[in-house]
Amino acid sequence: MRNATIVAPQPEAVEAGAEILERGGNAIDAALACAFVQGVVDPQMAGIGGFGSMHVYMPKKGVHEILEFYARAPLKAAPDMWLDKIKHQSRDGFGYVLEGNISDIGYLAVCTPGSLKGYETALRDYGTFEWADLIKPAIRLARNGFMIRNHMHWYWAKDQANDGFANTIDKLRFSATGRKTYFDADGMLKNVGDLLVNKDMAQTLERIAQSGGSDIFYHGDLAEQIADDFKANGGLIDREDLARYELSKIKPVWGDYRHNRIATSPPPGSGFPMLELLHIMEQFDVGSLRHGSAEHVRILFEAMKRMTIDKDAHMGDPAYVDVPYERLLSKEHAQAHAHAIKAGEVASVSRLDGSQRDTTHISVIDKDGNAVAMTHTLGSPSGAITDGLGFMYNGTMSRFNPVPGKPGSIAPGKRRPSSAAPTIVFKGDEPSIVIGAPGGSYIAPAVAQCLMNMIDFDMSVLEAVSAPRIVGVSNTIDICNRIRHSVEDELRTQGYQVARSPQTYAFAAVHAIKIEGGVSKGAADPQRDGMAISVA
């Protein structure tokens, strides 16, 4: 490799990771410095109250695995605990709306966080830097402040009433810390360009840095503060949840697309639905289609619906349910789906009676060829912040199915299904693409489309992440505002329901690196505020 590259949705976080690369750190060190900063400068997207997964490839060490630090349901949770509170499922299938939004906002919404243990394990097993050194940039930004960016403010102010979930602005108001941190003295939400300072978070990160690891959070003083706060506010998480939290390592699941070998996340991650979509699309001559044409969109939509139906039927924590992803990824299964699409059969996605999601991503490759694709998140923010600690907890309980007996149903200690698909593509034995995205149920369709853009349409990495996208995770084709109106009209004539997004760049936010001739180039999705930095 002749250079190193890092890309993520937040400029401050990318800069922190790039500085680590410039100082001789590897891809894992850079990703972790970036991740800590993301928790400060995009605190409703990620942080130490969240969870995620890191796809790690280290050729000189013979390492290729996925570090899973997913959130776990509280040990006091029960499969039928909210059966009488169900209202409906979101149209995109990402979550379930309950009476009073009790699984979406407040202390009952929180699953046991895994991020800090994930970061520590990654540094210990793959990294080279000192723990405290990696956290310094995040502490500095939390203490001194940073400017509120456009996408952050858009997300804060976004009206989610159509989905039935609580609005983020109400989550920001939920705690005393939130009201102090995110609002002016007159009660108005801080605006783009305003300085956001979070000294409580700075102090918490300092305590974590000085402690040398994650034990303070899962067994020490922080664990005691967290457990006491949840008890006082009717939450389910206690000291036992934190002390018994476990992460896992697993080999990636593999697929192939037009002679490209693709490694991604197995269940409960959503890499395998992304691969299934690619396997279906491989049965069509995608490159001969006009990108964004009615026929291109129709085939994508029908393939996405079939992927979604399979995912909804089977996705869950494999420690609790059987997820037959080998069968779902078989070429025979893909061929059967493709045959139905070619025959004109229209698939139908069922939802329980009855957008952009809250995640972030990092892609990195260093000069030694070590690669990281890391997706981490709050799932959605809960609004809950323990007084004095500064960070918000995840709101992940709303992503479990409240109906017992389903693959994604609630169970004590269970990992909720994740939409993340951190992915590395290989040509021969060398990485050619490092890719992933935030965006909930839209992640798998968006990542697959960007891969097809590079492989089928020979786009550059910037063209691939910027090209118009669609999603089909319901019975409506969601199109971005750059799909031509004539295409929309033709699809409606064919009998399809079409929803046009007002966003120019819509449906997940793909951040990718493409490697050609030993040179890596990165691209940040224009939907968010990020950037790519290459280090010679």
Active site residue ranges: 359
Query: Is 248 annotated as belonging to a binding site?
Result: no
- The values of phi and psi at residue 257, to 5°, are -145, 110
Identify any residues that bridge with 66 across adjacent strands, giving them in sequence order. Answer: 55, 250
- How are beta strands 497-500 and 476-479 bridged, if at all? parallel
Q: How far is CA 454 from the centre of its chain?
A: 21
Find the distance separating the first CA and the last CA of the chain, reported in whole Å. Answer: 10
* Nearest-angstrom CA–CA distance, 506 and 528: 10
Contact call for residues 526 and 12 (beta carbons, < 8 A): no
Query: Is 363 annotated as belonging to a binding site?
Result: no
Buried b (16+ CB within 10 A) or exposed e, 130-143: ebeebbbbbbbbbb
Nearby residues of 442 by Cβ (< 8 Å), 6 or more positions away: 92, 356, 357, 419, 471, 473, 507, 508
Strand, helix or coil at 54?
A: strand
* Nearest-angstrom CA–CA distance, 190 and 407: 41
* Nearest-angstrom CA–CA distance, 263 and 272: 9
* Nearest-angstrom CA–CA distance, 536 and 520: 10
CB count within 10 Å of CB 232 equals 11
Amino acid sitting at position 454 = M
Query: Is 380 annotated as belonging to a binding site?
Result: no
Tokens of 12: 């401050």
* Nearest-angstrom CA–CA distance, 376 and 361: 6
CB count within 10 Å of CB 184 equals 10
Contact call for residues 46 and 360 (beta carbons, < 8 A): yes
Give the angle subtended at the CA of 329 by the CAs of 326 and 333, to the nearest 5°: 110
Q: What is the 3-state secondary structure (H, E, C) of 90-148?
A: CCCCCCEEEHHHCCCCCHHHCCECCHHHHHHHHHHHHCCCCHHHHHHHHHHHHHHCEEC
Tokens of 94: 């990402």
| Omega prior to 268 cis, within 30 of 0 | yes
Instruction: Give the annotated binding-site residues.
Output: 418-419, 440
Instruction: Give the annotated binding-site residues for L-glutamate.
Output: 418-419, 440
